[in-house]
Structure 1
Amino acid sequence: MSETSLITTPFDASSTASDVVAGIDLTNRRAIVTGGASGIGIETARALAEAGAHVTLAVRDLEAGKRVAEDIAATTGNQLVEVALLNLIDRSSVASFVASWDGPLHILINNAGVMATPETRTPEGWELQFATNHLGHFALANGLHDALMAAGSARVVSVSSAGHLRSPVVFDDINFLLRPYDPFLAYGQSKTANILFAVEASKRWADDGITVNALMPGAIHTPGVAGLQITAEQRASGQDFVWKTPQQGAATSVLLATSPLLDGIGGRYFVDCNEAGPHVPGTRTGVASYALDPEAAAHLWQVSIDALS
């Protein structure tokens, strides 16, 4: 990846989701936002609704989802905001969600996630953050592949993080059975997986008219996350931390989902509404080479298929 080939847009870290979707008409377009009842998921869904999309909030908490859907409908005037149950670590829940979907799907935003959780494994034995942030979304996107293909020109957005710089996918020990569990390494691994998914899915699905990109939303003041995003290590490094509002945090997701500037673009990683360059050691900027490695992406795809079989 050469820096001269990086995708740039008129938007930046200060842009909001409303800014990037201004002038874009999503009437008759259908979108799913996982984790759409909290944090940047709310503002992502709101911006899509503002542009006229028919939005489904895929959430674990139906009551919270209904409250958010009512708020979005009231603030945008778009009544086409629905709520559906989705628990990403429950295979039957993902299967039920997929089975209930009918017709084309134009936009899938894999936004839901957990961060730095205590050591926990799913009933199948998968580490919780990897299972939630990657495997659940992998199963969802694959299950909805035909609906995405039916749209004719669909986009999948994979919400990653600068946390991916903490760890590649450690294929020999994804579940921390051979090494001490570290919640931030586990988080980093899952966020690298989000980028690798975009790389391989774009390769596999390009002929189906589906593009997939990944992004870092930025440091957002949202409940339960703000305290985790600045660790002692980061404080000691003296690096500046610029906080974003949820509306600014949702901007890059909405850009990747809607902007004509991204037509036909896939398998890339964006920060602050622009494609990120290579990681600069000693900083939290850029994208790690291991996160864009096509061999690792292909390997992860097969591991994921095997995990869900």
Structure 2
Amino acid sequence: MSQTTRITTPFGGQSTAAEVLEGVDLSGRRAVVTGGASGIGVETARALAAAGAEVTIAVRDLDAGKRTAGDIAATTGGAPVRVAPLDLADRASVASFAAGWEGPLHMLVNNAGVMACPETRTPEGWELQFATNHLGHFALAVALHPALAAAGGARVVSVSSSAHLYSPVVFDDIHFRERPYDPILAYGQSKTANVLFAVEAARRWAGDGVAVNALMPGGIPTNLQRHLEPGYLERRRASGDSGGVTWKNTEQGAATSVLLAASPLVEGVTGRYFEDNQEAEIGEPGGRRGVAAYALDPEAATLLWQVSADLLDL
């Protein structure tokens, strides 16, 4: 981590997205939230819309997206919410979304993801979690970079996880072609990639006024965990086994995302990793708190960017 002062805010692990943005006026600002039709994505989109932003939720399921958009409009006084198709594991879908975007983009929240799924590969042969959680969001952000640069002071938010502490990016075998597939290690690797993306994008895009940060939202039971053993999170929660993770509802889980997307408290902050609305300390690999030193490594971040660009023919 850099030697600059660690960023803290008045908010904590139990703060909600609405509380974080109380009094913040986002009128005239435009936001994209991937995976905005489920889990913390819904509450991220809701809080940004309630603060006056023009929000587009980018979703695989358009019907679910339309239902969510209607619900957000109804609960925020009719704030406009657009719905657009996006499948992050499909390069053509990502390219189509970006090509259809017109005008500046002030906030890009890379929120969608898949967790601990059975071994699955894209048509290119890429491991699905890395392809969806990292490569799809990487391609989207790079394609939308001109719109972000045009906004002046744009922000990109990369939703990671404490699971990044389970695995660095294993550059010698990213797609589990040589080693046995492990769904948790694959997820952890993809979440480390989310942090490394923020580190390198922050460096590359600083001159464009684009801030890029990563975060751990907290422990929030959502559809993201559908591939885990049934009742796994509920049993851990009931037993008091938090492993240091702050258990939250979806409104609390979206708080750190909207802090980084829109709060004036972190204006100009870039290339960092937050949890519970604070910049995280360095954490131990295999733990559940803090950020792994390997996830902030600038050399790994540069290498990942190059590897990703090569895979995507960018």
* TM-score higher than 0.5: yes
Q: Which runs of 5+ in 2 are unaligned?
A: none
Contact 2:39/2:224 (CA < 8 Å) preserved in 1?
no
Amino acid at match of 1:152: G
Q: CA deviation at 1:214?
A: 0.1
Structure 2 residue aligned with 1:165: 165
Displacement of 1:78: 3.4
- 2:268 partner amino acid: G
Verify the 8 A CA contact 2:166 2:286 in the aligned structure 1: no
Contact 2:104–2:150 (8 Å) recurs in 1: yes
- 2:193 is the counterpart of 1:189: no
Q: 1:303 pairs with 300, 307, 313, which one? A: 307
Query: Partner of 2:270 in structure 1?
Result: 266
User: Over aligned residues, Cα RMSD in angstroms?
Assistant: 2.1
Match 1:293 to one of 290, 297, 300: 297
Residue-by-residue CA offset, 1:160-190 (whole Å, 9 max, x unaligned): 0000000000000000011000000000000
CA displacement at 1:90 relative to structure 2: 0.7
Does residue 9 of the first structure (1) align with residue 9 of the second (2)? yes
What amino acid is the match of 2:127? E
TM-score (norm 2): 0.94
Counterpart code for 1:156:
V
Aligned to 2:67: 67
Q: Distance in 1 between matches of 2:39 and 2:109?
A: 14
Rounded to whole Å, the distance in 2 between the matches of 1:19 and 1:11 is: 8
Q: Counterpart in 1 of 2:260?
A: 256
Question: Secondary structure of 1:55's match?
Answer: strand
Change (3 A) 1:10 1:226: farther
- TM-score, normalising length from structure 1? 0.95
Displacement of 1:4 in angstroms is 7.4
Aligned residue in 2 for 1:25? 25
**Kept in 2: contact 1:153–1:210 (CA 8 A):** yes
Contact kept? 1:217, 1:249, Cα under 8 Å:
yes
Q: Distance in 2 between matches of 1:25 and 1:238?
A: 35
Question: Contact 1:49/1:78 (CA < 8 Å) preserved in 2?
Answer: no
1:90 aligns to what?
A: 90
1:14-53 equivalences in 2 (<5 Å): 14-53=14-53
Match of 1:275 in 2: 279
Letter in 2 for 1:172: D
- Separation in 2, partners of 1:281, 1:86: 33
Moved more, 204-213 or 74-83: 74-83
Percent identity over paired residues: 69
Task: Summarize the Cα distance change of 1:304–1:66 in structure 2 as closer, same or farther, 3 Å threshold.
Answer: same
Q: Which residue of 1 aligns with 2:152?
A: 152
Separation (CA, whole Å) in 2 of partners of 1:210 and 1:96? 23
For residues 238 and 19 of structure 1, the distance between their equivalents in structure 2, rounded to whole angstroms, comes to 24
Deviates more, 1:70-79 or 1:275-284: 275-284
